[in-house]
Amino acid sequence: MTGKLPFEALSVETLATRLATNEALCATIGKGPWKVREVGDGNLNLVFIVEGASGAAVVKQALPYVRLVGDSWPLPLKRSFFEYHALTRQEARAPGSVPAILHFDEGQALIIMEYLAPPHIILRRALIDGRQLPNIARDIGLFMARTLFRGSDLSMQTKDRKADLALFADNVELCGITEDLVFSDPYFDAKLNRHTSPQLDGLVAELRADRDLKVEAQRLKHIFAANAETLLHGDLHSGSIMVTDTETRMIDPEFAFYGPMAFDVGMLLANFWMSFFSQRGHEQNGKRDAMRAYLLGVTNETWAVFRAEFSHLWRTERTGMLYQKSLFEDQGDILASEQALDHVLHQIWSDLLGFAGIEVHRRILGLAHNADFETIEDEDLRASCEAKALKFGRHIAVNRRQILGMDEVNNLAALIERESRI
C-alpha cells in the first residue's frame, strides 16, 4: 500500500492483506497471520489492534466524516497528517509522553503506532472506576509545561514557529468543531445539543439567558481563535490519556493547532472536576469520599507541577525572542525576569479557569458528552451531578479574573458538592 492509492477505509477483514508488506509493522509484530480487532470508541476514527507472533501495534485511520454523526458530517482526512505532526513534536518536546510512531501514510490517513497494552486503560475509565492513579498529576503537568513552553516563542526560533503555525492553520475543520461545539452551541438552542431532560431544562434555560456567561464564553472563543501562542494538543481530556499505575501517555492530538497555552490546561483540569462531580453517581459499591479528595488533590498537584516545570524552563530554556535575557538576566535584573514570569503565569491561570468552565458546560449541554456522567443510569442522579458541575463551570468562567488560586476553586467545588441548596 502506498500513499498514491486512493483512500480506502480499512476493515477487520482487509487490514491484514493491505498491510501485509508494511515493513515497520512486520518488524514490530512479525509477519502474519495476525489477529485484528477494531476498538475505536472515539467519535472520529477507526482504531485497530493488530497482534502478531512477536508483538502488537495500533493502526489508526481517519474517516472522511465524523464517525459519531455519520457521513452527513464530512471531515477531511488531513487530520491524520496533523495528528502525526503533533505526535512527533510532542515526543521531541516531552520525550516518552506519547505512543511511538511506527509508520505514517498520508494518503491513507493512517498512523501505525505503539500498542499500549493492558494494564493501560483510558484515564476517564479508570476515574469512573474509582481508581487513584498516583502519577497522573506529575506526568500530565510535565507534559503540558514542556509541550506548551517548548512550542512557543519562549523557546523556538520564531521563524520556525511561524512556519509551523502556517502548517497547522490548515487544520480548519477540527478547530471548527471546537469553535462551534465548545464555545457556542452549548449557549443557544443548537441542533446537535442534548442534555438530561427534563431534569436540567430549567438550569439550561437559565445558563442560555446568562449574559455574563455568554459574553465570557465568546471572549474565550476569541482568545482561542486568535492567540496562536503555542502548539496545543487541542483535545486534552481524560479520554485522550492512557494510564497505568506507573505510566501516562497522551494520545489523539488530531485537534492540534497553535492556540493559547491555557486551553490545554483548562480543558484537562475541567475533566478532573467533572470526574469529581460525577463520583456521586458511581457510589453503588461504596462511598467515593476518598476519590473526591484524590481528584481535588490531582487538580492541585497538576497545576503546581505545571507551574514548577514552566518556571524551571523559563529560567533555563528561555531561548526564544520573547522576554529575552538581554533585557533581564544579562542586565543583572533577575527579578525583572521573575516579574515577567508572574505576569505570564497569571494570564494562563485566569484564562484556564475560563476554558475549564466552558469545557464543563459543553460536555453536559452540547453534542459530545462524556462517560463520567453518561454512565450514570439513574437520570435524576445524573442530572443532580451534572447540575452541580454546570454551576461550578459558570462560576469559574465568569469570575476567572477574581479567583486567586487553586484552593479557592477546589473549596468551591467541595462546597457545591456538599450543599444541596446551591
Q: Are strands 121-122 and 241-243 parallel, antiparallel or unpaired?
A: antiparallel
Between CA 355 and CA 400 the distance in angstroms is 10
Q: How many CB atoms lie within 10 A of CB 73?
A: 13
Tell me if 169 contacts its own copies by CB under 8 A.
yes
The reply on whether position 39 binds its own copies by CB under 8 A is no
Site for its own copies contains 272 (CB under 8 A): no
Residue with the three cell numbers 533577575: 334
Min CB(2)–its own copies separation in Å:
28
- Coil vs helix vs strand at 270: helix
CA–CA dist 45, 42 (Å, integer): 7
- Residue 37 is which amino acid? R
Do 1 and 23 form a contact (C-beta atoms < 8 A)?
A: no
Selected from 27, 39, 166, 415, the binder of its own copies by CB under 8 A is: 166
Please check whether residue 62 is in contact with residue 109, taking contact to mean a CB–CB distance below 8 angstroms.
Answer: yes
Check binding of 203 to its own copies (CB under 8 A): no
18 vs 162, beta carbon nearer its own copies: 162
Q: Based on CB atoms, which residue is closest to its own copies, 27 or 166?
A: 166
Q: What x-and-dash track marks residues 172-191 binding its own copies by CB under 8 A?
A: x--xx--xx---x--xx-x-
Q: Does 156 bind its own copies (CB under 8 A)?
A: no
Region 210-269 residues binding its own copies, contact defined as CB under 8 A: 211-212, 214-215, 217-219, 221-222, 225-229, 260
Of 73 and 135, CB closest to its own copies: 73
- The CA distance from 54 to 276, in Å, is 41
Q: Alpha-carbon distance 303 to 335, whole Å?
A: 23
- Site residues (CB under 8 A) for its own copies, limited to 113-152: 152
Longest dimension (CA), the chain: 66
Site for its own copies in 324-363 (CB under 8 A): 324, 326-328, 330-331, 333, 335-336, 339-340, 343-344
317 binding its own copies? (CB under 8 A): no
> Alpha carbon of 298 to those of 235, 304, 347, 350, 406: distances in Å?
19, 10, 21, 19, 11
Positions in the binding site for its own copies (CB under 8 A): 152-153, 158-159, 162-163, 165-167, 169-170, 172, 175-176, 179-180, 184, 187-188, 190, 208-209, 211-212, 214-215, 217-219, 221-222, 225-229, 260, 321-324, 326-328, 330-331, 333, 335-336, 339-340, 343-344
